Structure 1
Amino acid sequence: MPNTVTTFEAAVDAAEHHLINGHLFYGHGMADAYDEAVYAAAYCADLNIIEDDIDWDAPYPQAAQQKLNELIKKRYETRKPMAYLTGEAFLHGFKFYVDERVIVPRSFIGELILDELSPWVKPDAVTDILELCTGSGCLAIMAAKVFENAHIDAIDIDEDALAVATKNITDYQLNQRIDLIQSDLYTSLSADKQYDIIITNPPYVNSTSMSELPKEYLAEPHIALAGGDDGMDLVRLIVNQAAQHLKPNGILVVEIGNEYQHAEKAFSHLPLTWLDTSGSEQAVFLLTQKDLTNIK
């Protein structure tokens, strides 16, 4: 990349050009090379991509340009998600610390939380939330911010992931509202513990898709992606054991990505309600406690 770029806009244009030529894959919070170039240029200039207005005609600092050159070079040489290279990721306006111990935050459940899971719950009446497979803790944090009367239990089997979640929860000063629990799904919960809401974005990628993942996804923890032959191994466990951990009017919200057909087949005996999100109408399903009592 050239060493001298005069404006922020020119820095973005040059970065986008090199990213495109790198034949990279985008799916970790950035839609395409342009979005990633804007973020990278802002990051290297110490700008907050959420809070700071960008002056496209402003001179782009030489030190930032050098940093940007190195960042873009590392991106196309390693094929790692940009979030791992900068140590930060954004989800629906929230910023989180990330590293290779967790998958990069991306979830349609986040936007449903921001909509208060309407019309399925009364926000002020929600006092207990469980998140399974919390990873970086991003959804638990968002839930705590939206449901102000709720306490959240956030579970993950992976000690390394919980270390990342601990940092994020501390950064958001939510240690008194979110308890992190190392557990294999519900195993460490008391049998009588019940919740208004259970949310989960578990490993759900089927084995065929796992074998075809781009390098960017292969940089993420395998344990956080692989869901078995049909992607439903953990989802079955989550659904089949959810009823006893839900209050009578409680709901279970599960994200399954592109595994709609596998989910429909796995849970053909249940009335899955598919929730409309910005990217898909077949990526997140909901079941009520009453629905779940019909499991045979």
Structure 2
Amino acid sequence: MSAELTTIIDFIRYGASRFGRAGLTFGHSYDNALDEATQLVLHALHLQHDIGPAYGQARLVEEEKQAILALFQRRIDERIPACYLTGEAWFAGLSFKSDPRALVPRSPIAELILSGFEPWLGGRSVERALDLCTGSGCIAIATAHYHPHWQVDGVDISDAALALAAENVERLDARNVRLLKSDLFAGLQGEVYDLIVSNPPYVTDDETDALPQEYAHEPELGLRAGPDGLDLVLKMLRDAPVHLSDNGLMICEVGESERHLVRLLPELPLAWVEFKVGQMGVFVVERSDLVAHAASIKVLADARR
């Protein structure tokens, strides 16, 4: 079979066809078979992801072909997300180390980072920012990279995730990032930020149980968040005002749990971000609005385990 496949393009096409036939699920940084096949082929050949299209017709030697086919087979047999097979994920234009210690970086918040969080910041000054539930560190590190004068804290409860984030801090020389272990805000007494950003666990219990096999390779701690996906988010909304400066802003991703949040807190003025591909369940809220609705938020949050 490998004799019939000769070029880089041949193998990318072949991989995409095999992935489609195998019924794989895509959603870990790449959302389709062709992009995942491209990622695996270039990784096996030790080529950069931005290689010119002219190289697509390059002919491969047998050793290279076998390396590619072995990766394809693992992707199909074990349902491992491609980023875990390559050990690399791209987020906000930066290359992060990716492995099962944390979710594969894929938040739409990357688009906000690249836009400087505008128009939501409205030009307000930011000195300190927090990435709550930082996981691999991708949001904290990317924010720090594009805003070198900001001091950015990345917080997580998982030692494994924080270890991976520390490797990414070193990988990208993010000297203005500090990593801290904390259960949400519990270990951040006295810390105040101008901007809090978070991509927390927000998948409902039913949805977590029904996820395709690819997601089983990710830590469940980063996904499962109760019957409506809001166990952590409600606590964050309750406690955030203490850690936001007077003119502070919070940006949070809740995905499909958006509908549950709107139902529970219909009076809370949440602005839902419109991304290039549409709404993705990311809201923006002012500290002042969290304070104004603190009583109703507290009742809901205190009822969570």
Could you say whether these structures have the same fold, taking a TM-score greater than 0.5 normalized by the shorter chain as the test?
yes
Aligned to 1:284: 282
Change (3 A) 1:123 1:94: farther
Q: Secondary structure at the match of 1:190?
A: coil
**Deviations along 1:10-63, whole A, 9 cap, x unmatched?**
11111112111211000001121111111111111111113x223221212332
Q: Which residue number in structure 2 is paired with residue 178 of structure 1?
A: 177
> Secondary structure at 2:2's aligned position in 1?
coil
Give matches, 1:38-53, under 5 Å: 38-50=38-50, 52-53=51-52
Distance 2:7 2:36 in 1: 17
- 2:100 alignment counterpart: 100
- The residue number in structure 2 matching 1:234 is 232
Deviates more, 1:280-289 or 1:1-10: 1-10
In structure 1, the residue matched to 2:130 is 130
**Alignment correspondent of 2:114:** 114
Q: Which residue of 1 aligns with 2:139?
A: 139
Cα pair 1:4 1:65 within 8 Å, conserved: no
Distance 1:237 1:61 in 2: 56
Residue 293 (1) aligns with residue 291 (2): yes
State the partner residue of 2:215. 217
Cα distance in structure 2, aligned partners of 1:81 and 1:155? 25
1:268 paired with 2:266, answer yes
Q: In the alignment, what sits opposite 1:85?
A: 85
Corresponding residue of 1:190 = 189
Contact 1:123/1:147 (8 A) holds in 2: no
Tell me the C-alpha RMSD between the 2 structures: 1.5
Letter of the structure 1 residue corresponding to residue 183 of structure 2: D
What runs of 5+ residues in structure 1 fail to find an aligned partner? none
Q: Which amino acid aligns with 1:117?
A: F
TM value normalised by structure 2: 0.92
Q: Write the letter of the residue equivalent to 1:140.
A: A
| Aligned-pair CA distance for 1:166 | 0.3
2:22 match = 22
Alignment deviations for residues 110-166 of structure 1 (CA, whole Å, 9 cap, x no partner): 111110111222668311000100000000111001222100111000000000000
3-state DSSP of counterpart to 1:125 = coil
Could you tell me how far 1:173 is from its partner in structure 2? 0.8
Q: Percentage identity across aligned positions?
A: 34
Please name the residue that 2:149 is paired with: 149
Task: Report the CA distance between 1:177 and its aligned residue.
Answer: 0.7
SS at match of 2:90: strand
Asked whether the equivalents of residues 260 and 282 of structure 1 are also in contact (C-alpha less than 8 Å), the reply is no
8 and 212 in structure 1: CA distance in 2 versus 1, 3 angstrom threshold: same
Contact 1:4 1:62 in 2 (8 A): no
Q: Distance in 1 between matches of 2:121 and 2:44?
A: 42
Greater helix proportion = 2
The whole-number CA distance in structure 2 between the counterparts of 1:119 and 1:44 is 41
Query: Which of the numbers 241, 244, 247 marks the counterpart of 1:246?
Result: 244
**Structure 1 segments of 4+ aligned residues over 6 angstroms from their partners:** none
Find the residue that maps to 1:242 and give its secondary structure. helix
CA distance in 2, matches of 1:107, 1:280: 14
Work out whether residues 92 and 113 of structure 2, in 8 Å CA contact, stay in contact via their aligned partners in 1: no
* 1:92–1:61 Cα change, 3 Å: farther
* Residues 193, 245 of structure 2: 8 Å contact kept: yes
> 1:170-201 CA deviation, whole Å, 9 max, x = no partner?
01111x3111001101111123x211100000
Specify the code of the residue in structure 2 equivalent to 1:87.
Answer: G
In 2, Cα distance between equivalents of 1:18 and 1:275: 36
CA distance in 2, matches of 1:45, 1:280: 35
